[in-house]
Structure 1
């Protein structure tokens, strides 16, 4: 599991300043830095400037004057940066030429922080939809730009290449880390670049997003990013439990507990996400592809941004490809023929046995031994995606949401799916369902899965499934790998939990 070691000497201004509400007094008619006019200089004033610059709100003349702390007669990101520096005590006054407060901030650190915050930031990141995101420049680009846009409408915060990121901090690896605030109701995608031809793929931005770093080249020459919870070096804990599987062998189940979980505190209850292919969720050492889902990083990021912790339970797949194919294939009818593929291991699939194992063995064990509430999710990818979908549909009363990423719906033709869906009653309360599939021209498998994976939402609508309970996301750069599923896991989690 690639974890980012973070600086113990300096935490980004955005995160730290979220803890501070700094009162200043002045004899001047205007309190510089007090953009929102509440007679207090706080991180909310920084957010106001960012919203002005993003075109979300327009400043009136007084707000523009109070926010122009660098005295250049223009309201820019530099003013926001100066206010942030002031709030954390890096400077004790604004640049010359401005009317200054007559007193230093009443609350300001006297030295750089010695460790990362251990709790989710108060106020700012809990402001409903504004979150800080961070980019670690571990490839030493000479400049870093952030291109924020809405993946549905295409509306961009600023024309390509976007906003140049400035004022980085340096982490313990000597890498520069850049930060900015994002209103996730306006923009849900970001591309980081050097301002020229070097760039990442499209990266989802959600309330379960925090830090990004470059993992390596993706198909098409763009960079694939990894995710991590900025400002934390905690990873939660993993417990492994072995069960007798009905097919006559042992099966490992991995229970990940979020940081702060306290078995003795019965008043704190956690929702639980159950996932197929548990060996690929938390650590690179046991993955099949070299990448992992980074589920723990995403949940920790969500907690940083004011969300609740989630217990993630991974059920390991069979020890051979044939065993995995059998376990994770629901037996819905005649298996489709796929050119060049041996489909024999998918026929007469054991998906119901796996489904019953999850609902009758794993869930009761987890709910007996851990502090859980009634909110459950089920998710998976590829064969795990079709099986998670099947489990969710068969147990609509047991799961609040379903995530099917690059699902192997190709195993059955539309006629088989129509027949199966027609047997289900969707009139009651049903789970939210998140579908995702890539379509990279560099990956024949993902391309083959794409048609059925993206058609399923429409097929379900024809059988009465509520349209507002489903969403389908795609990515033209995405290949069939944990590296891309990790990028979309935060979005799946945020959307499914209706955050």
Structure 2
């Protein structure tokens, strides 16, 4: 589960585009939440606000007034959240009310600018190297099986490369411990799960992504919780180093305590080489990312191993910055919950009056400036998290679209 989460976290992205001169002008509509002016409130209205916040489209004054459903005088991600809650039946009206007061319509220009910019950007835009779809995977036979099969399948379509027990792997080499290493090539667009086996014993099923390279069998033995199957492990095959992990602490204003920020640098990072700049992935729950000793749950997400595997498959190195949450579940719930209005009945008191804005401000006002002043980074930033961290990452990204190119919201707690 943790490995699948990690793999997804490192490949998920939100692609943004900029279209100048597009405007939505619908002054005749008279219903709050009806941003597109079709006389009803739909998910399209929430989408229009998101695109407006990303500067993809324009909204005239009347459309913005109808979109301000929380009645705070401006269009924000909070309005998107309230429209989604209204459509889900969590709330039955907006703080603004439902019907606008009668007033003369306001008409905004709908034509796009007729003049194009006369000066091209002086520097090329930072880009990310795309990783190939066909990747080699390696299995270290630390159980000394007489043969190794790889049963590859698609978890959504149930398509399989070959019927059980799968494809017999080829002995690739022998490592320094005398263990045979087996290899094969996989198209990750077709198959996303693998079970290694010898026809009798087998591992649990494990993810196959562009951030996969090496696999092995957990030496502890078969796990009763998995019906007598071996737990499989992941490692960055072919990478000799582990990268560098730095820890820095800042005073956190919401609670006035020292909060750890973990900065992981990929193998090959050279502080003196200013010509090589790295993208940065900022992540919630920083205590869970790089080592088991600091986790709240006892499970490490293995971010460093996944990035190293991604590099092994031809991807760029990326700096991963983990922002720790509070050291208790209640504190984590508080810090990673945006205060966007009434919570669902399922939420306990630790989610009330969430401190998500303080966490967001800490990331943008303290962590990002520190990273950009002390490390060789380019303009590409992503923000990611899981569960409560997922909804907080979504909130941070949507509130700061000028700062983040990608959002990774994994299993986000929108139920709150």
Q: State the TM bucket, normalised to the shorter chain.
A: 0.5 to 0.7
1:256 aligns with 2:283: no
Query: TM-score scaled to structure 1, two decimals?
Result: 0.53
Q: RMSD between aligned alpha carbons? A: 2.2
For residues 355-393 of structure 1, what are the alpha-carbon distances to aligned partners after superposition, in whole Å with 9 as ceiling and x for unaligned? 111111111111121111111111112221221122122
**1:380-399 → structure 2 map (5 Å cutoff):** 380-399=385-404
- SS of the counterpart of 1:410? coil
- In the alignment, which residue of structure 1 is the partner of 2:112? none
1:134 aligns with 2:138: yes
- SS of the counterpart of 2:408? strand
**1:235-246 → structure 2 map (5 Å cutoff):** 235-246=242-253
1:289 aligns with 2:297: yes
Gaps of 5+ in 1: 1-125, 412-499
1:153 aligns with 2:157: yes
Measured in 2, the distance between the counterparts of 1:403 and 1:128 equals: 21
CA contact (8 A) 1:148 1:189 kept: yes
- In the alignment, which residue of structure 2 is the partner of 1:110? none
- In the alignment, which residue of structure 1 is the partner of 2:362? 357
For residues 254-274 of structure 1, what are the alpha-carbon distances to aligned partners after superposition, in whole Å with 9 as ceiling and x for unaligned? 100001111111111111000
Structure-2 change in CA distance of 1:360 and 1:208 (3 Å): same
Measure how far apart 1:197 and its partner are.
Answer: 5.8
CA contact (8 A) 1:335 1:343 kept: no
Structure 1 consecutive aligned stretches of length 4 or more whose deviation exceeds 4 Å: none
Measured in 2, the distance between the counterparts of 1:196 and 1:410 equals: 42
1:303 aligns with 2:306: no
- SS of the counterpart of 1:208? coil
**1:8-47 → structure 2 map (5 Å cutoff):** none
Measured in 1, the distance between the counterparts of 2:211 and 2:233 equals: 13
- In the alignment, which residue of structure 1 is the partner of 2:276? 268
- In the alignment, which residue of structure 2 is the partner of 1:101? none
- In the alignment, which residue of structure 2 is the partner of 1:208? 211
Measured in 2, the distance between the counterparts of 1:277 and 1:184 equals: 28
- In the alignment, which residue of structure 2 is the partner of 1:327? 335
1:345 aligns with 2:353: no
Structure-2 change in CA distance of 1:405 and 1:174 (3 Å): farther
CA contact (8 A) 1:212 1:225 kept: yes
CA contact (8 A) 1:146 1:165 kept: yes
- In the alignment, which residue of structure 2 is the partner of 1:180? 184
CA contact (8 A) 2:288 2:301 kept: yes
Structure-2 change in CA distance of 1:181 and 1:244 (3 Å): same
Measured in 1, the distance between the counterparts of 2:375 and 2:307 equals: 17
CA contact (8 A) 2:141 2:180 kept: yes
CA contact (8 A) 2:170 2:184 kept: no
- In the alignment, which residue of structure 1 is the partner of 2:173? 169
Identify the structure with bigger relative contact order (alpha carbons < 8 Å, sequence gap 6+). Answer: 2
1:230 aligns with 2:234: no
Gaps of 5+ in 2: 1-129
Of Structure 1 and Structure 2, the greater helix share is in 1
Measured in 2, the distance between the counterparts of 1:399 and 1:214 equals: 38
Structure-2 change in CA distance of 1:270 and 1:127 (3 Å): closer
Structure-2 change in CA distance of 1:185 and 1:310 (3 Å): same
Measure how far apart 1:204 and its partner are.
Answer: 2.4
- SS of the counterpart of 1:409? coil
**1:382-461 → structure 2 map (5 Å cutoff):** 382-411=387-416
Larger mean CA deviation between 213-222 and 281-290 belongs to 213-222
